[in-house]
Structure 1
């Protein structure tokens, strides 16, 4: 506190003490004390409304207040003001009671010296600051400066109590960032923390100052909206948040798109406990994610059933691997220049014992959330390689097989050793294994990413960049990675004949990729009119429903027999 200007409010009914206190404080060489005097509690309260003080010297025997009531009165109005009780009574129990009631120190009038008084004021200010710092840490999230879980619950309870008196509704929102784990996995935790800060700032812009935004942990946020008259008021704010969050975030000098899902529960006077309200908002959030994310949903009673089903799905997923319920289907990949089958992509399916054959979008997100994607991913790699060996032993000409690597698999230690072990155990020729990685992997820890890709490349496997064009990568730095091919995202291919911009983008990607020595695969080819356009652009390969839906291994063998009995020519499905 060197050279600090400290404003002191002296609340004392004996004006004779004013010059004495002033003289003692003037002896300080470290601080400059500015003293203001009042002789009534009410005068002090009136002054505290108008002015800010750094510390108070408080007498407990006043004309309009006696004992600890004066201390409590000041604290009620100015809870952050440090207080030193200055009493003419040397009473140890009174001193203890005063400190327990919120005073920072207690001194006896007439026994204090200048150093003692100055030290007491310094201590009171420093102690109050420490108390406030501890209180902040106990109630606020240090990363985003938002209220934490504990303060959120306190404010929710107060909001419910106020609703009983006001007649308005309270809307409780549960929010989280969609696929936030992907950001941590690909860009790193520092970028994830930065994203949380940005998200917190955007949320503040979407609500009123009197509303409460809290961070519960991870990427989970809550908002308490008070004085809501109509359900649509909460819906309007939720939509504003969804729209705001759909704008790109700048992380590591790159535009990254991360959306937000929102669940909303409405509280009317006395209809739910705080625990029930929280549970309902959480259920509504799950419903928003189930509907494709980047949307909001209000709680409905039927959601209890949906959550129960989701938990059952997770339980069954944990057992699916050991029960051999996962299967692979294989989608043809065709060389467009010679109309010949050159490979298949292995695609995961779940043969659920009750729900039948499930597509990846029904369970892959749950595999990611639970971490099961790692053992299941290893199973996919091993099963695909083993199937390729079985086809070779059956006498079919060799075709390559493509396997997708998730971000979590890619960031595993010893990934190259896992792949090598799989190749050795299955007898798979590494030249016929293509490993597909997504663009988002290129965003984080470039040196580590290049090292992992080089280790895989050294094994002799081919590495393909999947879903190219979805907003992350640049062809300008693809030469730094050992890719053999890239796959154009199907969103571009879908509109190649209807949208000139999509066609121009595809043409540019193919041209630049060829200059880098990369082959180009078009995904999602479904219509005959797309083929001439891709051929004119000299696209190397394609896959999609026009060539065939993903097939079981047995159906694949039938396809192989038909194709290879016809000089390996591949005939597209008739329109």
Structure 2
């Protein structure tokens, strides 16, 4: 195994310590335990810069840093802007400081001086806890069949996107998508076949949008998409046409070819409303109009209902 490959497989840790000799000692201990130290930095500002560049899996940080940002203030920014666990290092901390530190929800404390086995145990526990928390978040916010955001996460992002659109005066689109004749797929292919088609449809939907947009499964064979920061309403036509083509292409399910289509209803902010309830309702109405006019097509609320 090459040295470069070995480093890639080791867990990456950023050390934030303002006493150079202590930082070097910590780095040496971590490397002897098999971790990869991405960098050692002395200030909170440098830690934030390093996080963007080196992408560590854990931050080991002195709670009492010198400079404009102490360890607690730095950890608070990390909590808000990065999904990275923080372990505090401390030789001494009074009650007031510990109460401040609790707000940042750290993944543990290590008292200096420490034994290497204590350091390793604290790091492994922090990484395990962080991994479990992420798995629980995924279960709570993502659809277990398709891996797409579920209804709860969709509405959370909907509210956030709407606030941003109001502030920036950008156009935003809501698409409600219903697979055409999905019941016949279930009848002919069985529920397992139907599930396979839903997973593939979700994958195709995700490939039709930007990373900044959201595709979600609302339930059954119904999906929804949020398109944000549109430069013009006509941009939505391009995405909707792409989805119609993608979802209408044949599926290979259990070695059998099957075909379905999609009916899409679209509402626009601010033209069709300025609340989640109104925009979703109007997109739903437009979707049913698409079904009434022959399915496998998209309809805008303001174009289809006058």
Match of 1:149 in 2: 151
CA distance in 1, matches of 2:232, 2:57: 44
Match of 1:190 in 2: 192
> Any idea what the Cα deviations from partners look like across 1:177-218, whole Å, max 9, x if unmatched?
112122222211111111012112222332333221111121
Shift of 1:231: 3.5
Q: Could you say which structure has the larger radius of gyration?
A: 1
Question: Relative to structure 1, is the Cα distance of residues 192 and 10 closer, same or farther in structure 2, using a 3 angstrom cutoff?
Answer: same
Shift of 1:84: 0.4
Match of 1:10 in 2: 15
Question: Relative to structure 1, is the Cα distance of residues 206 and 54 closer, same or farther in structure 2, using a 3 angstrom cutoff?
Answer: closer
- Whether 1:66 aligns to 2:57 is no
Match of 2:112 in 1: 109
Match of 2:26 in 1: 21
Shift of 1:10: 1.3
- The number of residue pairs the alignment matches comes to 298
CA distance in 2, matches of 1:196, 1:238: 18
Shift of 1:97: 5.0
> Any idea what the Cα deviations from partners look like across 1:3-31, whole Å, max 9, x if unmatched?
95122211111123124324543553xx3
Question: Relative to structure 1, is the Cα distance of residues 296 and 22 closer, same or farther in structure 2, using a 3 angstrom cutoff?
Answer: closer
CA distance in 1, matches of 2:283, 2:79: 37
CA distance in 2, matches of 1:48, 1:299: 44
Report which structure shows greater RCO (CA 8 Å, sep ≥6).
Answer: 2
Match of 1:358 in 2: none
Match of 1:80 in 2: 83
Residue aligned with 2:212, SS: coil
Gaps of 5+ in 2: 1-6
Match of 1:207 in 2: 209
Q: How does 1:452-467 map to 2 (within 5 A)?
A: none
Residue aligned with 1:156, SS: helix
- Whether 1:42 aligns to 2:52 is no
CA distance in 1, matches of 2:234, 2:97: 56
RMSD: 2.6
Contact kept? 1:172, 1:225, Cα under 8 Å: yes
Match of 1:220 in 2: 222
Question: Relative to structure 1, is the Cα distance of residues 219 and 92 closer, same or farther in structure 2, using a 3 angstrom cutoff?
Answer: farther
Shift of 1:33: 4.4
Please report the TM-score for the alignment, with normalisation by the length of structure 1. 0.48
Q: How does 1:416-431 map to 2 (within 5 A)?
A: none
CA distance in 1, matches of 2:115, 2:200: 52
Shift of 1:109: 2.0
Counterpart among 282, 285, 297 of residue 284 in structure 2: 282
CA distance in 1, matches of 2:257, 2:304: 38
